[in-house]
Amino acid sequence: MGRTRAAIASALMLPLAACAVKEPTDALSEGTTAGSSVETEDVDPAAGATAVPAPAPATASRDADLSTAQPAEPDLSLDDLAVDLAEDLSLEEKAGQVIVAAHNGPSPPLSLVVEHHLGGIIVMDPDLSTEQLVALNDAVADAADEAGREWPVSIGVDQEGGLVERAKGDLTRFPTFMSLGAADDPDLTRRAAAGSGAELRGAGFTAVFAPTADVTMGPTDPTIGSRSPGSDPELVAEHATAAGLGYLDAGILPVVKHFPGHGSVPADSHVELPVQDRTLDELEANDLVPFVSAVQAGLPAVMVGHLQLTALNSQLPSSLEPEVVEGMLRDDLGFDGLVVTDALNMAAVADRYGPGQASVEALRAGADVVLMPADPLSARDAIVAAVGDGTLDEDRLDEAVARQIAALLEVADEGSVDALEPGGAADVAREVSAAAVTVVQGPCDGPLVDGGVVPMGDRLAVQRFERAAERAGLPLGAGTTVELLRPGQGPHGAQVSVALETPYLLASTGAATKVALYGDTPGAMDALVAVLTGEAEAPGRLPVEVDGVERQGC
């Protein structure tokens, strides 16, 4: 079973990717100009995007030794202020402050943040327009301010790019995080996260539940997949850390997830409690590597997932297990920042615990924010009752409240990239896809299609491809057949196979030419058309192993 948990503390400080600060460059997308197309389906691609100052990029080396690096020292005056603010709250207010509730619909839940003093909300409705998002977020923030709250309300969103993007409207669509593993340019990763974060901040968000630091184990990983940069722990460490720093550049709180690593379990915690059978040695060498990097870089918040670790001989979900939160994360990795649970309404927890019990147990285990309990008010009442009967120490609750307040105050004051209007990050999103597109079979030079093209596959993807072809002047309706593949759709026997998300589907096609695109955004389709016509090279390389292809990339 490997060494005990207590014995891995010193060994976890591994040599990892450095993320040293450099001077800012002139634009989010180097080599691009204002006026490039906006990454939405409803906005004219010629309408323009705003060039903005770039954040300081991360270094590109994975050979640097950070074994002596320490987490950034906290601002003691800010810490003291947060402690004072927390101590001034009533018990009921403290219990509310550690809860972030799920919210759907355009109507702002003002009573939750004013009357019940919840720490904030996570916006879950992908159908809200930009105007509705801004109005919702502004109303919540204004209500908290008018009620006398002296720190930002937590208004968060799952916005990873690709399949996981809750804030839509006119905001820039980014491809999957795996795109950045395929591009393998940490400076670009940091600029992309800064661009996305700057748009989110412009829309009123204060927190983003990203980046994903899980190392995917391949096609048997049902939950993470293209949400991860790849299957190499050091690659994932480098890009997850760079993304977290990019969000900080934008003045938005990043929450690195899902400790201790969800990419190596063959079950989905949304529907059941996954069992992690890896030994502590195996976790140390793989899943924990990106989180070590994040802690060493001083990233302020970590989400703990719902996994059962057999190496600890525990039956508890990791989000409720003190040996994971206080032991592995705080004691072993030295993390003293904000710990957030994964959503407590997920089946991995909710099938065994009510919202109140789960919230109390998460706080007892060392978490500071309980995310999305199914009934946030009953969770609040349970926390109050637990302090009252001694089940939960009030000092532990005070510590959790102070950590959340400090994190929100500090991040809001440290952004170096201005907030952006919707679509303002289009250039850098387009740059990501252009750097990621990967030809794993077929010619590396010149056109990959003969004359026109006949696209087939997913209807929405075909429509986006057709728009990109029209923008590039590529004839449609005759010529080379091109299939756009999603899981469960195809193959269709085309001459060119394109995997839109994870590249594993390329293993099952008989096409002469195979391309991994890692997204279906307008920018991704533009990058694909440019490669198909020979107007651009395909610089990406597979960040995961795929059977049945000739090479990792050109």
Catalytic site positions: 270, 342
Secondary structure of residue 94 in the 3-state scheme = helix
Angle at 228 between CA 226 and CA 231, to 5 degrees: 100
Rounded distance between C-alpha atoms, residue 320 and residue 362, angstroms: 5
Contact (Cβ atoms closer than 8 angstroms) between residue 283 and residue 332: no
| 490-504 per-residue burial string, b: 16 or more CB within 10 A, e: under 16 | bbeebbbbbbbbbbb
Indicate the burial class of 70 (C-beta count within 10 angstroms; 0-12, 13-18, 19 or more): exposed
- The DSSP secondary structure of 525-548, one letter per residue, reads HHHHHHHHTTSS------SS--TT
Question: Tell me, what DSSP letter sits at residue 333?
Answer: T
3-state secondary structure 303-315: EECCCEEHHHCCC
Rounded distance between C-alpha atoms, residue 289 and residue 231, angstroms: 12
Question: Tell me, what DSSP letter sits at residue 109?
Answer: -
Bin 129: left if φ > 0, else alpha if -120 < ψ < 50, else beta: beta
The structure tokens 């105050």 sit at 409
Alpha helices in 333-391 (DSSP H): 347-350, 355-365, 376-388
